[in-house]
Every structure is written in C-alpha cells, then in structure tokens.
A and B are shown apart, each in its own frame.
Chain A
C-alpha cells in the first residue's frame, strides 16, 4: 500500500469536507508530517473486506469532533452536541472515506459498518500509511491499517 493511496484518500477527505462539512473548499489541508498527540481522541473506522482486509481510520480530538458534528448538523458554533451525534458524524466521515477507498480496490467486495471509539490509545500495530491533516488549523489524522487477525469477525 503506497503513499499514492494516501494521496487519493486525502483528496477524498478534502472533497468530503468541501461538499458536506464546510460547504466550500480549502479548509482541510495537509498538516505537519508527524501529528501531535490528540486531546481526548475520537477514532472512527470502517473495514474493507478482501483477501487482505484493510481498515481506514480517521482520528481527531474531541473538541474537533464536536465541531465537525456541529457543521454536519448545521448547528450553532457553541451549541451542545450529543455524544451519540458525534459517534454518528465521525462514523459517517469514516464511512464515506472508506466507501470511496473500496471503490479504488475492485478486489475488495464489502465494507463494514463504522466503528467509533472515544478515548483510549491508538490501535495495536503499525499503520500502512498515515496522513496528518489540518481542518481549520485543528488536527485530523487519516490512516490505513491491516485489519488485525483477531478482529476479522467485525467484517
């Protein structure tokens, strides 16, 4: 899995944020090469079934996740957001990115439902690639992983 796939995924994420989060392009950009640790991380992913199952994962801090949720739901800047809505919103971000990635992998026939985890540490293993992005100057990390063998039942 190459950086070229990473470039495609960044483009997909930028299209997604332009069309459905910000309503205009230009607010999701490449960030620093090595992302800083996320505060109260929220991680959302979907798994793509295939001979080599792959996971596309989106991670950001809780404040940024709340802000993305407000944007998707057309809420006011300081309006309260329910945890269930944050789970739903970040899951959809992962789902749209993962669905488009699946389209680039014709030998991968199916997509899992999204999984969203609040807090905790990063998953075990080493990502195939990681792209550090900035949405309105807030950190958002997209990465691709091999699906751990003991988690393949999620597929």
Chain B
C-alpha cells in the first residue's frame, strides 16, 4: 500500500535516517515530504492532506504535541511520533492526545514494521 507521508523533524540527519529506515522496512514506495518543524508540517498537512504524519516531539517553532493538537482539531490525518522521548509518561500523553503510535529513537527497520504494519491492515 503506497501512502503519502509527511516526515517532520528539525534535524536533516534524522529526517534522512527516518526516510532510509522507511525504505529498509519495506515502505520504499511511500511518497515522503519533509518538514523542518511542527509549523511547517501543519501547513504542509493542511495543504496536501497526506495519509500519515510522522513527527519528532521536540522541535522549534511548534512541538510535535502541539502539531498533533492542531492537526486533530482541523483534520482526521493520523500522526505517529518518532522521538527520543519514549518514556511511559510520554507514551501516555501521546495516546491521550490521539497519536496513532510512538516509535522511540533509536529505532530499527523491525521497530518500524512491527509498529506501523498493524495500522496498514
């Protein structure tokens, strides 16, 4: 299944790693647009109506959780976090705000597959 996805992270290096890991996990046919912070991701998401947003949590301009809140208020576009902050508290907050999932950094292609595949079924 080919999806249109926005990858939001203020680190170019991390965006590149996420895109590479998506490819290694078997999602190489996904059409990926990159955003450098939450505000840019929100603007792109509202304009492009992607199938999924994959977002870092800790970003300048607009954090990932604020992006999720703004996105949820305006659309049904699902958001999954890819963040170094994978504590139970953060996972609980992400879930309570409606995030689809949270993948903790560091991650592997296997972690991507086992987390994302159930939502594609």
Binding site for B on A (CB under 8 A): 15-16, 18-20, 69, 72-74, 85, 88-89, 91-92, 95-100, 102-104, 106, 111, 113
Contact = CB atoms under 8 A, between A and B. Distances in A.
Given A72-B17, A111-B85, 8 more contacts: A15-B106, A20-B107, A96-B84, A96-B105, A99-B86, A103-B85, A103-B87, A104-B87
Contacts of B106: 15-16, 18-20, 96
B14 interface: yes
Contacts of A99: 58, 83-86, 105
Interface of B: 10-14, 16-17, 20, 58, 60, 83-87, 89-90, 104-108
A74 B107 contact: no
Given A99-B58, A99-B105, A113-B60, A85 B13 contact: yes
Contacts of A103: 85-87, 90
A95 B14 CA distance: 11
B93 to A, nearest CB: 11
Contact of A69 (B13, B58, B104, B107): B13
Contact of B87 (A15, A74, A106): A106
20 contacts: A19-B107, A20-B17, A20-B107, A72-B13, A73-B13, A73-B16, A85-B13, A88-B11, A95-B11, A95-B84, A99-B58, A99-B86, A100-B104, A102-B85, A102-B87, A103-B87, A106-B87, A106-B89, A113-B10, A113-B60
